Amino acid sequence: MLGIRFNSLQVGLLLASAATVNGQAKEGCLDRCEAVIIPYPFGTDEHCYLSPYFWVTSNHSSNPPKLLLGKPSPEGNNVQVLDISLEGELLILNYVSHDCYDSLGEADSLYSYDSYLKPGQFNISSTKNKFTMVGCDTFAWFKGQRGHESYRTGCMSICDNITDVQNGSCSRNGCCQTSIPDGLSAIDLTLGSFNNYSEIWEFNPCGYAFIVEESNFNFSSNDLRDLKSKTELPMVFDWALDKETCQVDVNDQTNNACKGNSTCNKRITGWGYLCNCSEGYQGNPYLEPGCQDIIECENSILNKCENPETCINTQGNYTCSCPMWYHGDGKIDGQRCIPNRLQMIHVAMGIGIALVVLVAGSTWLYWALKKRRFVKLKKKYFQQNGGSELRQQLSGQGSTERIKFFTSEELEKATKNYDESNIIGRGGFGTVYKGTLTDGRIVAIKKSKMVERIQGKGFINEVGILSQINHRHVIQLLGCCLETQVPLLVYEFINNGTLSDHIHDENKASAIMWETRLRIAIQTAEALYYLHCVASTPIVHRDVKSSNILLDEEYNAKMCDFGASRLVPLDQNQLSTAVQGTPGYLDPESLQTNRVTEKSDVYSFGVVLVELLTGKKALFFDRPKEQRILTIFFLFPLKDDSLFQVLEDCIVNNGNHKQILKVAQLAQRCLSINGEDRPTMKEVMLELEMIRMIGENAEQNPEENTYLLGESYAHYYLGGGESSIATHSMTGSFLLPVSDAR
């Protein structure tokens, strides 16, 4: 058990009164020690303090210097002062008492400090401090003097396990606290253990007791072991003048401790009194000439005038003036300035009428100008997006009746102001929204990306191309909108996603059987043949891929996304341009020559055929190196007669193997490195139609199928040329629906 006697000690910083000003110390006296201001009645020399109770020492033997309470002690046990407040509070350092034991229950270390402060002028603050004890096998109490009476209180804590302790809570599990009574001065503190911590030594070898400022201590379970490293904690100490009551003769400034423009106030707790500056004054009330007038008008916080410029300073106060036809104190927290109603009524009526006219006129003018600017802006965007050029182009093509120019308001309403919930796709050239027109039609609205003006011709190009196309397997363009910052295209809506969505999704792929895949391939080939050969000017799509093939509910195919497409003049069979497209589908010959032909689309279509056969993506970086490029992954097994090992299971199990083999061989020719070795889209379309007939005629006439897809058929593809196909007796049945276009 450890007994300790000490006086009130504290560490921390207290804010000085907002009224403090320079010159807190007596003239010729030290006014600060390092960062601590020393206001009178405190001082470091005999002529600098009011009485010996207020003697402080600036100790320069430490680095940095420390301010100590009282005259220097030979034992060096002076209390360090960190702040002195004229509001009657001292901020000092209070020692932490320890009671520690080793694992055998023997005393390990003891700390004791004797009191050197006498009761009277300085009391422990009852409002700021708490008596605190930390430990799981601990009890502590203190007794002290309250005037002529004795006082005793304390607390105890018992806990068997660290898990019983709650951080931040001094609720008698590892930590307990009790209040400090008013007017308490010197005290005796007793700290001890029930079992010398022998049963809980591993997590709590010590007990601790101290008086601390409540806001400066937050209990943690780590304190049960680590608090030993802390020797001092904050505590607040109250001070007052040594008079039991205020001076009666307030006019006797020589003997009255409270100087000019100040009041004497007895302490609510403890005894003695304090001096405070009167309202409207600031400074040190203990020093001549006393408190000084506050210039409220120059202080933005204290100046409460409705109009700060009307502030007039007076001794200890200020006034605010009101303008003509108003009365009152003019203060925000007072009466303010109140209008003289009878004098103001006519003025108010006149102003009101004028304001109504002004507001009405301004509103009309604002909306008129805004509408005019909006119309101009739409015209600007229309020209900027190539509207005039497009009208001229469509007029020359005779497509003005089929292509509608939508207004920006129509499409905003259709897409609910382009709400993200209506986004159905994103591509290299823009974002696609689902929208509902006023006539109930559901459409797809393509919003182009922000691009440089030189790239804006890609949009005009796409509209020009689509306006010429009229084919059942090519997406239909309904119209466009050029009144917005980025141009918009309006297409028919295909509601079943893309081919890529279906064949690359394990859950959807099995639903597309071989017959359906073959039909999709034929329909796509018809669309490309139409673009290459039937359109008024041949069109190279340049971005043929599975994600640009839309499917309706019956899995019919429609080509889309003509942002990269280009027209090929009739007298040319090649187009010199920057190669565009999607990695994995790009024609290797075009990449070398920087020239795009219809055979470039044939190569990309060959990749789509391989996707239909294998169900795999054109590029897939999660696969081994030799399988990352689909075309390479596909061609090797085809040469090694192990084709069916790389095909999709649902095709191998349910498809016609002859058809599958012929389609694979066709894909191989489409993927030839040399463009001249590839078939045309017309040849591809016809061969796919004949392959389809294998399944239709397999049971009825197997010998005819053998002829159709045997050596003679391969001969007229590779040797006879396109003209030999055109003269074949079966050609007409295939060409008729394609050339018919719809």
d(CA 651, CA 395): 48
What residues does 72 pair with on adjacent strands?
none
Q: Any residues with CB less than 8 A from the CB of 370 and at least 6 apart, and which?
A: none
Lowest mean pLDDT among 68-82, 139-153, 376-390, 442-456: 442-456
pLDDT tens by residue, 83-97: 999 999 998 888 888
Which string of DSSP letters, residue by residue, matches 358-380? HHHHHHHHHHHHHHHHHHHHHHH
Q: In the prediction, which pLDDT does 688 show? A: 96
d(CA 667, CA 646): 14
pLDDT tens by residue, 386-424: 888 888 877 766 666 678 889 999 999 999 999 999 998
Q: In the prediction, which pLDDT does 612 show? A: 95
User: How many C-alpha atoms does 154 have within 13 Å on its Cβ side?
Assistant: 18
Q: In the prediction, which pLDDT does 455 show? A: 53
Nearest to 335 by CA among 344, 343, 326, 348: 326
Q: In the prediction, which pLDDT does 10 show? A: 33
The mean pLDDT value of the chain amounts to 81
**In this model, does residue 27 exceed pLDDT 80?**
yes
State mean pLDDT over 153-178. 89
Q: Is 662 annotated as a binding residue?
A: no
Lowest mean pLDDT among 167-181, 433-447, 626-640: 626-640
pLDDT, greater one: 443 or 385: 443
State mean pLDDT over 151-180. 90
- Residue whose entry in the numeric block shows the structure tokens 């789509």: 608
Q: In the prediction, which pLDDT does 734 show? A: 30
Domain ranges of the chain: 2-16+87-239, 384-492, 499-740
pLDDT, greater one: 565 or 172: 172
pLDDT band at 515 (very low <50, low <70, confident <90, very high): very high
- Residue whose entry in the numeric block shows the structure tokens 């069979």: 573
pLDDT, greater one: 143 or 336: 336
pLDDT, greater one: 627 or 725: 627
Lowest mean pLDDT among 22-26, 163-167, 199-203, 551-555: 22-26
pLDDT tens by residue, 447-478: 877 654 445 566 677 677 777 788 999 998 89
CATH superfamily ID and name for 384-492: Phosphorylase Kinase; domain 1 (3.30.200.20)
Lowest mean pLDDT among 183-192, 244-253, 273-282, 656-665: 244-253
d(CA 509, CA 681): 26
State mean pLDDT over 161-180. 89
pLDDT, greater one: 243 or 134: 134
Q: In the prediction, which pLDDT does 549 show? A: 95
Residue 181 has a CB neighbour count (10 Å cut-off) of: 16
pLDDT band at 18 (very low <50, low <70, confident <90, very high): very low
Q: In the prediction, which pLDDT does 23 show? A: 54
pLDDT tens by residue, 575-626: 444 556 788 999 999 889 888 899 999 999 999 999 999 999 999 887 777 7
pLDDT band at 728 (very low <50, low <70, confident <90, very high): very low
Nearest to 608 by CA among 495, 693, 694, 522: 522
pLDDT band at 520 (very low <50, low <70, confident <90, very high): very high
Which string of DSSP letters, residue by residue, matches 648-709? -HHHHHHS-HHHHHHHHHHHHHHT-SSGGGSPPHHHHHHHHHHHHHHHHHTTT-HHHHHHHT
- Max CA distance (Å), the chain: 137
Lowest mean pLDDT among 534-543, 569-578, 683-692: 569-578
Burial class from Cβ neighbours inside 10 Å (0-12, 13-18, 19+) for residue 349 reads: exposed
How far is the CA of 702 from the CAs of 191, 424, 695, 735, in angstroms? 108, 46, 10, 24
Q: In the prediction, which pLDDT does 732 show? A: 28
State mean pLDDT over 484-511. 89
- Residue type for position 226: D
State mean pLDDT over 724-740. 30
Tokens encoding 287: 């020093």
Q: In the prediction, which pLDDT does 701 show? A: 52
Look up the CATH number of domain 499-740: 1.10.510.10
Q: Which residues are catalytic?
A: 543
**In this model, does residue 248 exceed pLDDT 80?**
no
**In this model, does residue 738 exceed pLDDT 80?**
no
3-class SS of residue 210: strand
How far is the CA of 538 from the CAs of 149, 394, 541, in angstroms? 113, 17, 10
**In this model, does residue 696 exceed pLDDT 80?**
no
Tokens encoding 262: 């100040």
